[in-house]
Each structure stands twice: as structure tokens, then as C-alpha cells.
Amino acid sequence: MSSAQATHVAVPAAHLVAKPPQLSWEVAGSLHMVGATAYAAARAVAPQPGETVAVSAAAGGVGSFLVQTLTGRGVRVLGIASSDNAEWLEKHGVIPVPYGDGLRERLEQAAGAGGIDAFIDLYGPEYLDLALGIRPDRIQTTVAMQRAAEIGARTDGRHNATAHEILVDLVASGAVEIPIAATYPLDRVADAFAELEQRHTRGKIVLVVP
């Protein structure tokens, strides 16, 4: 939910899902935003088993969830991320592609002769430019809205309660892992955002409310 940096939040009961006992509060509290965003992004480009999908910020909060759901469907995933995250990505069935100079060439090499079928951007407009040549309806971004409008890419962020129940089941069953990069008490929210703004975290940064 939005406006969640508080000790109490009013929310319609229909928007709530019971926390499975096997999930920690940190993981359960992270699930809605990352899971719903990942679910909507994947649905927007409709990846099929055997297709190749490139994902930027693949080890971030949304990206780490998204790539696991894609590989779980039999999709071949190219994960753009820091080289520090290569081992984690490989462990989850993702082909790591380090960002930096020469990224386009590394993506093309990793994609192979079949090329890239869809591109999901979770970082910024510079990555959307790497997707040129892919059909616009198979390019999705959650952040670069202006650039998306210019090239006709998708910006779908819609989700529903049924999707949330599916996401809860995925995590509760162990099919998807939500890495917790760090936790902060509520009175250190500024420190949490300072770490978030570095844009190098793997998984989620969580505020712990007493």
C-alpha cells in the first residue's frame, strides 16, 4: 500500500491478504509493491516459454522478484545488473549481463542468434534505448514514462487482489525468494532512503515499525 511509512494505516479490508505464518513480516511487508509491479510488468509483455526477455535492474527489489517468476515460466532471462549480483542471478536461472560500457554488445552476445523477444526496464530511459528494434508492445517500463511515450512502449502497472493472492502463494511455497537488503527502524527512514538512492541494493530495504 502507499503511505505505509507510519505506525497505523487505514485500508479497506478487501485490500488485505492474510500473512502466511511461514513468511516474516519483513518479507510479507515487501511483497505487495514488488510483487504487484513485477506481475503487471510481466503481463504487459506476455512472455512465452522459450522466449528471451531482458530485464534491467534485475537484482533490485522488483527485478529480483520478476526474474524469478519469469524463469519459473520457462522464459530465458537476461538480467542487467552489477557484476556483484552475477552469482545470485545465476543461482536463480538468470543469465547475468553486467551494466556499463559495452552493455549493448554484451546483451547481443548473451541473446544469441534468436535475439531478444521482450524488454522490461526497471531503471531508466537509457535502458529503453537498448530495446529499440523490439516491437514496442513488447517493451515495458515502470520508470521512464516520457521515453516510453516517445517510442510507444508500455507502462502498464495495473494489478488486482487475485494477482496478490497468487504472489503470496509463490513466496510462501518457496518458488520465489524476496531478498531483504537491509532493515531500518522507522525513526531512521532518512537513512533507508539514502541507501535506496544509491541504487545498488539487492532486493528490498524495509522499514520496521515497532
In this structure, what CATH number is given to the domain that contains residue 68? 3.40.50.720
Total number of domains constituting the chain = 1
**Is residue 12 a part of any domain in this protein?**
no
Range of the domain at 174: 24-178
Instruction: Tell me whether residue 59 is in a domain.
Output: yes
CB atoms within 10 A of CB 189: 12
Answer yes or no: is 184 within a domain: no
Residue 207: DSSP 8-state? E
Query: Which tens digit of pLDDT belongs to each residue from 124-151?
Result: 898 898 887 899 999 999 999 999 999 9
In a domain, 132, yes or no: yes
Those residues of the chain that have pLDDT short of 50 are: 1
Question: Is the residue at 85 inside a domain?
Answer: yes
C-beta separation of 110 from 97 below 8 A: yes
Task: Judge whether 49 lies within some domain.
Answer: yes
Per-residue pLDDT tens over the stretch 187-200: 899 998 888 887 66
The model carries a pTM of: 0.86
Query: Per the domain annotation, does 51 fall within a domain?
Result: yes
Helices 161-172 and 25-45 pack at an angle, to 10 degrees, of 120
Alpha-carbon span 65 to 45, nearest angstrom: 16
Q: Could you tell me if residue 124 is inside a domain?
A: yes
Reading the block at residue 96, the C-alpha cell is: 547475468
SS (H, E, C) 46-70: CCCCCCEEEEECCCCHHHHHHHHHH
